[in-house]
Amino acid sequence: MDDVRVLLVPVKAFHVAKLRLAGVLPPVSRSLLARELATRVIRAGKDLPVSVVCDDHEVAAFAESLGASVIWTPGLGLSGAVEAGVEHLRQAGATIVVVSHADLPYAEDFGHIGEEGKVTIVPDRFRDGTNVIAVPAGGGFRFSYGPGSFERHRAEAARRDLPVVVVEDERLAADVDLPSDLALIAP
């Protein structure tokens, strides 16, 4: 059986996205930035089917306008929404789910991420967070985003007896979370 790979992108409501940038960007600018970054990530799915997990009608309409399917996940938080999205995609026939944060300014392609029977992790540039992770859809993987998620995801893979592949990809390791990260996208 061939792998059925899909890209899953959790997208927070634009009006509350990027709150850690509130000291340097007004709400409208943060919303526009979140939309622009999410557009880049969704389009980087290229030949993969792309689904967005969200709990906001504006985000759902935005995702559908880019050709992504929407998985509605109200009230679950980031980790819960991703788990629900992976389960939904497993039931739809996916075998590998590539999960990418929506704030990667240099995302171009996810085709090299993910192998059957393994967990593939692209850590952030500080090797603290998890910017991209690919998991077997049927593995029951428990996500744990937030500070230190890279090590927690490695530990979860070990708990599931799944080999881990760490991909050092500087383009996918870059994300926009803090004011200092805005230098990554400066003209």
Q: Which domains does the chain have, with CATH numbers?
A: 5-185 (3.90.550.10)
Give the pTM.
0.97
pLDDT given at position 1: 52
Mean pLDDT, all residues of the chain: 96
- pLDDT tens-digit series, residues 109-145: 999 999 999 999 999 999 999 999 999 999 899 999 9
- What angle do helix axes 57-65 and 27-43 make, rounded to 10 degrees? 40
